Structure 1
Amino acid sequence: MNTSRGGTLLRLHLIVGTTLAVLCTLLPVGPVRDVLYTTISFGCAALMAVGVRRHRPRAAAAWWLTTAGIAVWACADLLWAVYTWVLGVSPFPSPADALYLASYVLIASGFWLFVRARRGEGDREGVIDSLIFTVGFVLVSWVLLMRPGLESAGESTVARVLAAAYPLGDVLLLALLVRLLTTTGARTAAFSWLVAANALLLVADCAYQYVLMTTGYSGGIISLPWLLGYVAFAAAALHPSMRGLTDPGHGDGDTRFTRRRLAALTLASLVAPGTLLLQLAFHWRLEAWAVGLASVVLFLLVVLRMSGLLRHLEQQASRLADLARTDALTGLPNRRTSDAELERMQTRARAEGTALCVAVLDLDRFKSFNDTFGHQAGDRLLVQSAAAWREGLATAHAGTGPGRAAMLGRWGGEEFVLLLLGHDLASATAVADGLRTLTPAGQTFSAGVALWSGLESPAELFARADTALYLAKTAGRDRVVPAAAPPPVGDDAAGAAGVPVSRG
């Protein structure tokens, strides 16, 4: 597709379409005005078809349904003009009414496909938000349009059905417009034009129905939003960004509870009490049942929305807590969690009289591995090693007694810690040695294992395991060395603090 030619067509359409829409609004009611009016509506429907065929969007069905809705609306406009200026009659209801109502269904179906394509069907919060706005609009529509329309329709069943059907069509369009706004995805130019088109259609339709019941429709400014809506629909289809309008969003997108969204939902929730206050202030007819039912529904929807928000916050807090406890690379417990688990195991070992061992594992020549294969390969080695050792540890502990427990954690860098409750020094050394043979990528590790004396602090216990690890490194690596027993209490032994360890 020639992008430059497409941009020229869009600009030309906006200039000519807007100019003709304003001109049509300024013309007096008559055949000339309606010829221009139908020319604009059919022309915009044709341009929508051109845009869909030219850009070939991913969800073409949504665009074709919307285009068909505008085309049917234009046919209804033409039929109404033929009745008025050619046949000289104004039947109600007429086939034009059937076409107008069909256009609501077609446009709404297109918008529903837009919502689904942008992954909006599984968004509980977005559905609730759209329902809050829709319930508020239904109440206003009932007070201003539906009830007066039903009363003025007389006893004719068809007339009463139509009097209610048009406002309900507007409710349907509004609900899907709000639902589209609450979906995730990019806010492209085509998206903005589509939203503006639907909004203009709603404004014009509601204003027309209200004026028709009060003073009578005689053209004028009310026609302008309709015509500009046609222009906006065509602009949405002609804009190149319409190809990506139905691309699914990522993350939370516009389901986030922003201040602007909170303000909009607050105003929508206040529609019911606001309507009642206005009726009381201006001595209008009270709609107690309508206001009461709307208030109950809005209250329940707001409660559902708040419960969803609280659940979302709880999930976020849980994820943050998991991140605080877990090493991001390997998924193993981090150093903080390992420290806390060691203290818990010490308490249990003291209470149950059970042995407790700590092993410190360090991958051999990890710096050389990184220098040779790169840091990404080093990260993969850490991840694969953690997975292999964790699986091996689970296998070694399968079917063991209730007095035993084990935890593998990442201590930092290429160093890991293994806590073994219910294992004496020989048993813990054997478990660590069994993990050594599982190290992937042909690599090895060295380890030091220390048995808790029952009196040592965690730092002293780790220092003895670290000293044993140093001995394993200096003895040639790829081995597990048990730590010496701690010095007697009160003995002036510098070894309790450990010795510096050269890693590698």
Structure 2
Amino acid sequence: MRSSINKSSNKSSKIQSLLTGQNIVYGGMAWAVGSLLFFLLFSVTIPGENRFGYLFGTYILECVPFLAAAWLCYRNWGSPQIPSGRNVWLGIGLGMFAYLLANVIFGVWELHFHLDPDVSPADFFYLISYVSIGWGMVLAVLPRRLNLEMWQWGIVGAIAAVGIAFAIWILVAAPGANDPTQAVVALETAKNLPGWVVGIDNLLSPLSRQVNFLYIVLDVCLLILASTLLLAFWGGRFAQSWRMIAAATLSLYIADMGFKYADAIAKAKGQEYESGGLLDVFFIFSAVLFAIGAALEYDVSSRSRRSNRRRTEGKQ
């Protein structure tokens, strides 16, 4: 009995020794670089070539870091020593997991049913992920009693202005963005689809404009929250982890705006949008940076706990 307990504790300690902040940073960087190379090498294909293998690979490259980020956020939530608050990481972790579920659903919609709907069931989980991430960030900001200087508020305002301006340009000025006559009717092959898929698509299609507008609003809100958090934690012990979170949010914004623009261009040409464009790699960067941010905060809090324990033992 004791030997089995010792073996299990040894295994857990070995796993914990591998999951250090430094190892996760190196692993995340390797995953990001490998993903970028994959996109650069295989994103350009010959017309008519079967892209299933490439698209399936992009979903795997994206889902794995989101799963890792969700688990690392869950680990932070389970630690009472996390200084920014356990519920902060619960919110971000739920956002990572919801994004993972959304990717799986969207992948089934695109790769199995060969649909490019303006709205799909995946959007429900995408929106949940944005709200959850935003909730976590708000919980991180509230206890800090923001006392930003004027120049810092100026930076936040400038970031907000640029983000809003670019989002409006994507929404209004992009070719085909607001031309419903250019929209591709994705259900031309409806006879080959299950009835429930056709019914869901018909139910959700009228919500396209509202959902796209909501995405842009949430993207801008997350961008403002991330910049505020970055300045609030600037110079502290945990500044590095929140720099990663801010960079992750910026990557998510870039990927979303790139998706909106590519989708509008495809509609203007009378084509279906197909995922896997080069800017989609920023979705992977976002997940990797969220994972690294969670790992760095856990690593710093663990070191603080060990140093406090040593001080207590020294006093005794």
Normalised by the size of structure 1, how large is the TM-score? 0.43
From the superposition, tell whether residues 7 and 103 of structure 1 become closer, same or farther in structure 2 (CA, over 3 Å): closer
- The residue that corresponds to 1:109 in the other structure is 135
- The residue that corresponds to 2:31 in the other structure is 17
Query: Which amino acid letter does the alignment assign opposite residue 24 of structure 2?
Result: L
Query: Which amino acid letter does the alignment assign opposite residue 258 of structure 2?
Result: A
- The residue that corresponds to 1:202 in the other structure is 253
- The residue that corresponds to 2:188 in the other structure is none
Distance 2:217 2:101 in 1: 21
Distance 1:150 1:168 in 2: 16
Given that residues 57 and 242 in structure 1 are in contact (C-alpha distance below 8 angstroms), is that contact kept between their aligned partners in structure 2? no
Normalized per residue, the structure richer in helix is 2
Aligned length: 243
Distance 1:136 1:18 in 2: 26
User: Higher relative contact order at CA 8 Å, sep ≥6: structure 1 or structure 2?
Assistant: 2
Selected match of 1:151 from 161, 164, 178: 178
2:41 is equivalent to residue 41 of structure 1? no
Distance 1:118 1:242 in 2: 21
- The residue that corresponds to 2:226 in the other structure is 177
- The residue that corresponds to 1:69 in the other structure is 95
Selected match of 1:57 from 47, 61, 82: 82
Please show how residues 91-102 of structure 1 align to structure 2 within 5 Å.
91-102=117-128
| CA positional deviation for 1:227 | 0.5
| CA positional deviation for 1:222 | 1.0
Query: What's the CA shift string for 1:426-447, capped at 9, x where partnerless?
Result: xxxxxxxxxxxxxxxxxxxxxx
5+ residue gaps, structure 2, are 1-11, 44-53, 184-204, 267-272, 302-316
Q: Which one is further off, 127-136 or 77-86?
A: 127-136
Given that residues 193 and 233 in structure 1 are in contact (C-alpha distance below 8 angstroms), is that contact kept between their aligned partners in structure 2? yes
Runs of 4+ displaced beyond 6 Å: none
Distance 1:184 1:190 in 2: 9
Query: Which amino acid letter does the alignment assign opposite residue 226 of structure 1?
Result: F
2:244 is equivalent to residue 193 of structure 1? yes
Normalised by the size of structure 2, how large is the TM-score? 0.65
SS in 1 for 2:232: coil
Bigger radius of gyration among the two: 1
Normalized per residue, the structure richer in strand is 1
| CA positional deviation for 1:79 | 0.6
From the superposition, tell whether residues 220 and 137 of structure 1 become closer, same or farther in structure 2 (CA, over 3 Å): closer
| CA positional deviation for 1:152 | 3.1
Query: What's the CA shift string for 1:271-319, capped at 9, x where partnerless?
Result: xxxxxxxxxxxxxxxxxxxxxxxxxxxxxxxxxxxxxxxxxxxxxxxxx
Selected match of 2:287 from 209, 227, 230: 230
5+ residue gaps, structure 1, are 245-504
Distance 2:25 2:214 in 1: 37
- The residue that corresponds to 2:263 in the other structure is 212
| CA positional deviation for 1:191 | 2.0
Query: Which amino acid letter does the alignment assign opposite residue 244 of structure 2?
Result: W
Give me the CA root mean square deviation.
3.2
Query: Which amino acid letter does the alignment assign opposite residue 89 of structure 1?
Result: L
